Amino acid sequence: MTKVGRQSAIDKALEILFCVADQSRDVGISEVADILGSDKATVFRALKALEKHGLIEQNEETKKYRLGLRTVNLAGQKLRGMSVASRAQPFLSRLSQDTQETVQLSVRSGDNVLYLSVFETPQPMRVASEVGTLAPLHCTAAGKLFLAFDETNLREFAARAPLEKRTDKTITDINTLQKDIELIRSRGWSMDDEELLAHLRVVAAPIRDFSGKMTAAIAVGGPTPRVSPEKIDEMVKAVLETAHQISGHL
């Protein structure tokens, strides 16, 4: 199948998924085909592909289709992210004010971290970051937290997402990264020491829900001339306390 053909098939599958979602009842292949003006064979293939991934499920008695449980899971992840971002705002603002550095709230998005909220430092020397930006897991403080606490198989991760070198300090060796992850698990926080960007140091702590599962990460960082070893200790204490406070509100 050509690239254009694959894209067309994806578009059709999504159209069928949305069609099923729009109905207030289970629907059959013929009904979906009539609504969309598609042939039954195309609808059948798309439904089976969606069913394989849990997005659609078939009623065993009527043989009709409805949304699958995977859609509930996806919606739940989205809502949890929105809930964390909303409830974390005052804590993020206070942390930025207390440390006078940039604070970020992020969640995992595949093999990246996604920034949900950013409070910039008021100081003139800063590293800009924007809401909606993606960054690699292996060379960010928040990303390494997810690798540590999401029970990620590092070798499988590295096979599909090569450890790209961003700076001279980026960890690109899987064994070295494994040791760093083990250290993060033991102390409960992580650090990006100029691994994503030169002259930038960041520390991060996990935010957990009521069950103890890590749902997000909070990070604070700044330029290396300002972030001395002494300030790192202060930032670690502050980010851990803030993460604990936010977790208590989830």
Please name the amino acid found at residue 247.
Answer: S
**pLDDT digit string, tens, across residues 219-237:** 999 999 999 989 999 999 9
Range name among 64-68, 106-110, 124-128, 230-234 with the lowest pLDDT average: 124-128
The angle, 0 to 180 degrees and rounded to 10, between the axes of the packed helices 141-149 and 174-187 is: 80
Judged on CB neighbours under 10 Å (0-12, 13-18, 19+), 108 is: buried
List residues bridging with 61 in a β-sheet: none
Instruction: Point out which residues pair with 114 in neighbouring strands.
Output: 107, 134
Helix boundaries (H) for 23-161: 29-36, 40-52, 69-99, 141-149, 154-160
Q: Which pLDDT belongs to residue 123? A: 85
CA dist 76 and 180 (Å) reads: 31
Q: What is the pLDDT of residue 33?
A: 94
Pick from 3-12, 135-144, 221-230: least confident: 3-12
Query: Would you state the pLDDT for residue 7?
Result: 57
| DSSP H/E element including 63 | none
Residue given tokens 């009521």 in the structure block: 210
Instruction: Locate 41 and state its tokens.
Output: 């064979």
Q: What is the mean pLDDT of the chain?
A: 89
- CATH numbers and ranges of domains, the chain: 3-67 (1.10.10.10), 75-247 (3.30.450.40)
